[in-house]
């Protein structure tokens, strides 16, 4: 007989917390589900969507319906069937005309978390992982925002607070004195579901290889919600070179990498579309291409000789040049590449440049600074930030830089743990198409556009740490 987490058993275990006031009743889980409980609910939910409408759940059911990556209905109710029916005609989205071929249904059960003050939301909410429940002065529930809202509407922490106030119908955060963080257990029913388990490294490499077409052109990225591929974008050729480096490092897509390399080499030889006009960006592109095995050394050296002062204005691109040319890089470029280290600032490419020059003292100092940039506490423990939210590619680049010297293992492990949580599997949000995103990495926890160099950097980081960190 199937082990089922009956409501009374869960309540005895402290699992379900019923909450009600003048607002709608809301029952939440007091802890994440165990694997056996998840499996049991997943089977019952799948059966319920077929013919059995008696599925009991241990918490309020939030049913979201997505069509081609866009939410078209979202309703919470104690009765999952009523939640589904109401989500189908959700007036906020004009009423959904549900097509089984295009729509995906997601069930979310909220997991109760600690309270958070409105002032803390912008800085400490785990975007993409945590949602919010707001209560008024009487203890009544005023608003619920699921964790998916941040990605669905591209909201940062400050925007989540504004959305919470708007949904609660209040003007000031003073009117919602209690706000609770919530996570969710997610169950997704897809019209065309497939089940496949892949090694994370192989999955990332396979996704990258699929972004290279028959003539070797590397896509800039893909919108996993709409399925739209973006052929080009800012710094496209430099980013494409990182894809080649990652495929070369993986080692199982040699033919794909050769095809991409020939395409990139022809684009550079043409010297037109795709090559940035500013000398620093062009130098960075050529440096990355040279690192990917493209025969462009003469072009890079000529550009550096003609525009070293302009290139030196960008420490980031100057460091890329030094990584490519090593001791052959002109002294103004070298000084610019190492300046952030001497200033004690964060500079992953400068750390790699110090390696290329054999400057061990500067490399150690740079890595100490990089290690300090990896947060040891929430939100987004292990994710490196240049802005309010950590970026996946930046975190991966820091891992790459630290892995070269192999110090700071605790910091590397922390960043790698964050990175691994960002990789998309087949068990993704209903908003995304698993056939388009399995193995890929998004820009950030709340920004799910799949730019190819992000996954390439993540793959390089995982390969660099595979032996050291497991």
| 408 or 395: which leads in pLDDT | 395
Mean pLDDT across the stretch 456-465? Answer: 96
Tokens representing 37 are 């409980």
Q: Could you read off the pLDDT of 306-317 as tens digits, one per residue?
A: 999 999 999 999
pLDDT for 174 equals 86
CB 449 within 8 A of CB 393: no
Task: Quickly state the pLDDT bin for 343 (edges 50, 70, 90).
Answer: very high
Nearest CA among 40, 33, 93, 87 for reference residue 63: 87
274 pLDDT band, cuts 50/70/90, is confident
CB 5 within 8 A of CB 43: no
Which residues of the chain does CATH 1.50.10.10 include? 200-469
Residues above pLDDT 90, as percent of the chain: 67
- Can you tell me the distance from the alpha carbon of 240 to that of 235, in angstroms, rounded to the nearest whole number? 9
Long-range interactions of 33-42: CB distance < 8 A, separation 24+: 33/5, 33/109, 33/185, 36/3, 36/5, 37/3, 37/5, 38/185, 40/2, 40/3, 40/4, 40/5, 41/5, 41/109, 41/185, 41/187, 42/187
pLDDT digits (tens, 9 = 90+) for 48-64: 887 666 778 899 999 99
pLDDT digits (tens, 9 = 90+) for 363-374: 999 999 999 999
pLDDT of residue 408: 65
d(CA 323, CA 15): 54
Answer yes or no: is pLDDT of 65 > 50: yes
* pLDDT over 60 at 3, yes or no: no
Query: Which tokens is 257 given?
Result: 């990498």
Q: 19 has which bridge partners?
A: 26
Give the Cα separation of 438 and 188 in Å (integer).
15
The pLDDT of residue 219:
96
**Does position 406 have pLDDT exceeding 70, yes or no?**
no
Kindly give, in sequence order, each residue whose CB lies less than 8 Å from that of residue 147, ignoring residues fewer than 6 positions away.
Answer: 128, 129, 130, 131, 182, 183, 184
Q: What is the pLDDT of residue 12?
A: 37
CA–CA distance, 57 with 55 (Å, rounded to integer): 7
Q: What's the confidence (pLDDT) of residue 69? A: 86
Q: What is the mean pLDDT of residues 428-447?
A: 93
**pLDDT beyond 70 at 93:** yes
Residues 68 and 102 sit within 8 Å (Cβ to Cβ)? yes
Q: How far apart are CA 445 and CA 390, in angstroms?
A: 8
Q: Which of the two residues, 155 and 94, has the higher pLDDT score?
A: 155
| Residue 37, pLDDT score | 94
Q: What are the residues facing 115 on neighbouring strands?
A: 180
First to last CA, the chain: 38
Average pLDDT, integer, range 171-191: 89
Predicted pLDDT of residue 384: 96
SS3 100: coil
DSSP 8-state class, residue 104: E
Does residue 188 sit in helix, strand or coil? strand
CA atoms within 13 A on the CB side of 335: 7
CA-based R_g, the chain, Å: 25
Residues 461, 416: Cα–Cα separation, whole Å:
8
Question: What phi and psi, each to the nearest 5 degrees, are found at residue 249?
Answer: -65, -35
Confidence of residue 123 (pLDDT cuts 50, 70, 90): confident
Q: Helix or strand or coil: residue 330?
A: coil
pLDDT higher than threshold 90 for residue 88: no
Of 417, 393, 396, nearest to 469 by C-alpha is 417
| Residue 94 clears pLDDT 70, i.e. is over it | no
323 pLDDT more than 90: yes
Task: Assign 268 a pLDDT band (cuts: 50, 70, 90).
Answer: very high
Does residue 103 contact residue 145 with C-beta atoms inside 8 Å?
no
Phi, psi values for residue 254, rounded to 5°: -60, -40
Q: How far is the C-alpha of 318 from the C-alpha of 409, rounded, in Å? A: 28
Residue 24 scores a pLDDT above 70: no
Q: Which residue would you say has higher pLDDT here, 456 or 103? A: 456
pLDDT-derived band of residue 466, with 50, 70 and 90 as boundaries? confident
User: Would you state the pLDDT for residue 48?
Assistant: 80
61 close to 77: Cβ distance less than 8 angstroms = yes
Mean model confidence pLDDT for the chain: 88
Whether 450 contacts 221, CB under 8 Å: yes
Confidence grade of residue 14 (pLDDT, cut at 50, 70, 90)? very low
- Domain at 200-469: CATH architecture: Alpha/alpha barrel (1.50)
**Helix (H/G/I), strand (E/B), else coil: 459:** helix
Structure tokens at 322: 């030094």
| Total Cβ atoms within 10 A of residue 453 | 26
pTM comes to 0.88
Across the range 195-222, mean pLDDT stands at: 91
Q: How far apart are CA 372 and CA 353, in angstroms?
A: 19
Is the alpha carbon torsion for 308, 312, 317, 318 positive or negative? positive
Question: Is residue 159 pLDDT above 70, yes or no?
Answer: yes
């Amino acid at each position: 007989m199937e082990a089922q987490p009956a409501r009374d058993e869960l309540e005895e275990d402290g699992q379900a917390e019923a909450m009600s006031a003048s607002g709608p009743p809301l029952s939440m889980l007091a802890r994440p589900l165990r694997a056996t409980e998840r499996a049991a609910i997943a089977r019952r939910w799948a059966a319920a969507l077929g013919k059995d409408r008696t599925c009991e759940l241990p918490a309020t059911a939030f049913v979201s319906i997505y069509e081609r990556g866009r939410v078209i209905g979202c309703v919470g109710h104690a009765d999952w069937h009523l939640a589904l029916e109401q989500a189908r005609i959700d007036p906020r989205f004009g009423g959904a005309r549900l097509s089984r071929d295009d729509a995906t249904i997601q069930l979310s059960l909220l997991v109760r978390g600690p309270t958070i003050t409105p002032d803390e939301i912008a800085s400490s909410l785990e975007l993409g992982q945590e949602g919010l429940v707001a209560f008024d002065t009487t203890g009544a529930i005023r608003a619920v925002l699921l964790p998916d809202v941040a990605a669905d509407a591209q909201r940062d922490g400050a925007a989540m607070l504004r959305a919470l106030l708007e949904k609660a119908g209040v003007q000031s955060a003073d009117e919602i004195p209690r706000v609770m963080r919530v996570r969710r257990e997610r169950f997704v029913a897809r019209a065309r579901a497939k089940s496949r388990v892949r090694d994370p490294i192989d999955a990332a490499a396979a996704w990258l290889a699929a972004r290279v077409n028959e003539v070797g052109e590397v896509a800039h990225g893909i919108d996993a919600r709409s399925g739209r591929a973006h052929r080009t974008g800012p710094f496209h050729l430099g980013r494409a070179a990182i894809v080649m480096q990652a495929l070369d490092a993986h080692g199982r897509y040699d033919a794909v990498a050769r095809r991409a390399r020939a395409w990139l080499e022809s684009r550079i030889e043409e010297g037109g579309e795709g090559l940035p006009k500013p000398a620093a960006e062009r130098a960075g592109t050529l440096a990355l291409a040279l690192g990917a095995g493209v025969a462009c050394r003469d072009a890079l050296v000529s550009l550096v000789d003609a525009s070293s002062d302009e290139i030196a204005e960008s420490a980031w691109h100057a460091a890329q040049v030094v990584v490519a040319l090593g001791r052959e890089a002109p002294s103004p470029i070298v000084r610019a590449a190492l300046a952030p280290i001497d200033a004690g600032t964060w500079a992953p490419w400068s750390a790699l440049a110090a390696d290329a020059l054999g400057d061990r003292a500067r490399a150690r100092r740079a890595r100490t600074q990089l290690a300090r940039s990896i947060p040891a506490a929430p939100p987004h423990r292990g994710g490196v930030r240049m802005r309010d939210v950590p970026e996946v590619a930046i975190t991966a680049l820091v891992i790459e830089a630290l892995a070269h010297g192999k110090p700071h293992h605790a910091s590397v492990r922390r960043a790698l743990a964050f990175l691994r949580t960002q990789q998309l599997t087949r068990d993704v949000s209903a908003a995304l198409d698993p056939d388009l995103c399995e193995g890929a990495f998004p820009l950030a926890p709340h920004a799910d556009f799949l730019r190819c160099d992000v996954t390439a950097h993540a793959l390089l980081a995982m390969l660099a740490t595979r032996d050291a960190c497991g």
